[in-house]
Structure 1
Amino acid sequence: MRVTSEQRLEDGVLEREFTLGEIPGVLWTPARAASAAPAPLILMAHNNGLPKRDPRLVARARRTAVYGYAVATIDAAGCGDRARSAAEEQARADLRRAVQAGEPADEIFESVVGPLVEKAAPDWRTTLDALLALPEVGGPVGYSGWTALGIRLAVTEPRIAAACFFAGGYVPRAQREEARQVTVPLLLLLQWDDEGNPRQRALDLFDAFGTREKTLHANLGGHTGTPPFELDDKARFYDRHLGRAATSAA
């Protein structure tokens, strides 16, 4: 793991860009005393823009780090600025066109996102190995963000102890089946008027999750309209399940 840039932000959070082989990423860690215990880790996954160029993701990451968590995001294979074939770029363009036109998009979606999940999951596991080797980062581990990938990791990665998913309308068939195997505590954030994620599909997916502890927060508004207060609620969710609440009370 090679750190390519490092800066201390005004809120005390340390932001480090890094590369891990071909994987580029960013790690945010909270201000901490030298004697402080390692910070629990949140993996903040996306399947769109490069982390440092996505203001919404960066804002969520910095806010979460202020709460006392280490937060990491990467451009996994096929995501962000990582190289994609001409066929993959065409499939993405076809998917965008179909969704914008209101046309059936399920099969195009499967051809784009199904392989994307398969490629991305190993990069996230490699990154998790490297991050947990840092002295300032520790378990347990939480997950936040991209639903399809989160389902795969929650089922296959035993180090993940809690997960927060966004949207959930469009999820590949394989992950819809895997959802029944998700047993970690779960928070699903749903935008009621999300133009790109059918509401009923998200509700059906929530019903399918196998965990006995799952919470749905639904708010009015489109895809990018998640209210800021949900960040506070999400932090309390992680506090309950990643051990910070118990540690603070001790």
Structure 2
Amino acid sequence: MRFTSEQRLDDGVLEREFTLGEIPGTLWTPGSAPAPLILMAHNNGLPKAQPRLVARARQTAAYGYAVATIDALGCGDRPRSAADEQARAELRRAMRAGEPVDEIFESVVGPMVEKAAPEWQTTLDALLALPEIGGPVGYSGWTALGIRLAVVEPRVAAAGFFAGGYVPRAQREEARQITVPLLLLLQWDDEGNPRQRALDLFDAFGTKEKTLHANMGGHLGTPWFEMEDGGRFYDRHLK
């Protein structure tokens, strides 16, 4: 892991960009060390520099957590094949037109999860070797990837998921294997994630400790107070 830049934010959080082989990432660490770690992934491959993710990461670090995000393979600005780009464009077109998108979604997001999960695990190995980061480890963000990591990565002790309407079939099956505490955030009028599918997914999660927070509004309308509630969730399980 090689750090390429750093800046100290007003609240004392240290923000550093890093590379790990071909993987670009950002790490936020609080003043206290060693700190528990939260892996934070944005939905469906949006870049790690997406403003909403950065805002969540900085606030979470201010609560006393180390927070890391990466652009895994196929995510953010990392190269994608012409076929991948065409499939993404077709998915966007079909969603705007109100057409069935299940099969297109499978062809785009299923392979993305398969490629991203190993890179997140590689990143986790490197992060836990840093003296300023301790355990345990939490996850926050993209539901499909989070399900995979919660199942295959024993170091993940708690997980917070967003949306959950469209999740590949493989992860819907894997959801039954999850045993760690989890928190699912649901926007009741999310235009991109069918409500009933998200509710069905919540019902399928195998863990005995699961919480659903539902709020009115569209995909981008998650209330900021959910950050505070999320902080209390991680405090219960990671501190």
TM-score, scaled relative to structure 1: 0.94
Identity score, percent: 84
Q: Please give the root-mean-square deviation of Cα atoms over the aligned residues, in Å.
A: 0.7
> What secondary structure does 2:46 align onto?
coil
Q: Is the 8 A contact 2:74 2:80 kept in 1?
A: yes
How many angstroms does 1:100 deviate by?
1.2
Residue-by-residue CA offset, 1:118-174 (whole Å, 9 max, x unaligned): 000000000000000000001100000000000000000000000000000000000
Per the alignment, residue 130 of structure 1 pairs with 126
Which of 109, 112, 116 aligns to 1:116? It is 112
Deviation beyond 6 Å, 4+ runs, structure 1: none
Distance in 1 separating the partners of 2:131 and 2:202: 36
Match of 1:200 among 187, 190, 196: 196
How many Å apart are 1:49 and its aligned residue?
A: 3.0
1:84 equivalent in alignment to 2:80:
yes
Distance 2:100 2:4 in 1: 43
- How many Å separate the matches in 1 of 2:161 and 2:87? 24
For 1:29-61, what per-residue CA distance to the aligned partner results, in whole angstroms no more than 9, with x for missing partners?
A: 0123xxxx4100000012333222x11000000
CA distance in 2, matches of 1:50, 1:11: 24
- Which residue of the partner structure matches residue 48 of structure 2? 51
- Equivalent runs, 1:59-78 vs 2, <5 Å: 59-78=55-74
In 1, the alpha carbon distance for the partners of 2:179 and 2:111 equals 24
Written as runs of structure 1 = structure 2, the 5 A alignment for 1:1-250 is: 1-32=1-32, 37-46=33-42, 47-52=44-49, 54-243=50-239
Stretches of structure 2 lacking an aligned partner (at least 5 in a row): none
Q: Which amino acid aligns with 2:16?
A: R
Secondary structure in 2 matching 1:140: strand
Aligned amino acid, residue 46 of structure 2: G
Q: Which amino acid aligns with 2:87?
A: A
Secondary structure of 2:203's counterpart equals: helix
CA distance in 2: counterparts of 1:18 and 1:9, whole angstroms: 17
Paired residue type of 1:48: G
How many aligned positions are there? 238
Structure 1 residue 11, shift from structure 2 partner:
1.1
